[in-house]
Amino acid sequence: MEASRRDFINVAIGGLGVVGAVGVLYPIVKTLAPSAASTTEAKAEIDITKIPELGMRVTSWKGKPLFVLRLPKDLQEDKYNVKKDSVNSAGKLNYELLKGQEAFALVGVCTHLGCIPLWKPEGSEDVKAPYLHCPCHGGLYTPWGDNIGGPPPRPLFVPPQKREGDKLIVGEPGFVEQLV
């Protein structure tokens, strides 16, 4: 049997339809897939021996700034006037999750409008101990990320993290099980 012009046209239109469908579906599937930032940076390993006491290292985790702080063991929350009604998603203060840890990580994004706070290890006239200060609207946080002043509605986010020797591994459950 010989192919007619009509058969050729039907195959050609069908092929164009398939190409068009792939052209429409590809961007939809690409949009729904997880971003490269969230998959490639799902875990961060930080050597805490390279961070001095009262020091902070800034890195990234899932496309967001990550603050890794190393605090002296004698630094206590009672030096701060923490807003007791400002709790994380676990219903606790961040200090309760992080106390006893000499090094830990916080997501470095202000919970008010998404600015990046600054680390003030020497304190200031108003706050006589180390703290994080968001310069955009005056948000103040303890080194553990709890609110001590300004408009932020909740503490800084604490990612899941664990310690393995001298390494802090962010993105894996440990002393913090999930993002709070």
Cα 96 versus chain centre, distance:
19
pLDDT at 38: 60
pLDDT at 36: 65
Q: Is 117 in contact with 64 (CB distance < 8 Å)?
A: no
pLDDT at 1: 60
CB neighbours (10 Å) of residue 139?
Answer: 23
- E-state strands within 3-85: 44-47, 55-61, 64-70
Determine phi and psi for 30, rounding to 5 degrees. Answer: -65, -35
| pTM for this model (two decimals) | 0.75
Contacts of 152 (CB under 8 A, 6+ apart): 86, 110, 111, 112, 134, 139, 141
Residue 12 confidence (pLDDT) above 70 = yes
pLDDT at 40: 58
Tell me the average pLDDT of the chain.
88
Round to whole Å and give the CA distance between 44 and 105. 10
Round to whole Å and give the CA distance between 45 and 33. 25
Residue 23 confidence (pLDDT) above 80 = yes
Q: Is 114 in contact with 139 (CB distance < 8 Å)?
A: no
Q: Is 112 in contact with 133 (CB distance < 8 Å)?
A: no
Instruction: Tell me the mean pLDDT in the region 163-174.
Output: 91
pLDDT at 119: 93
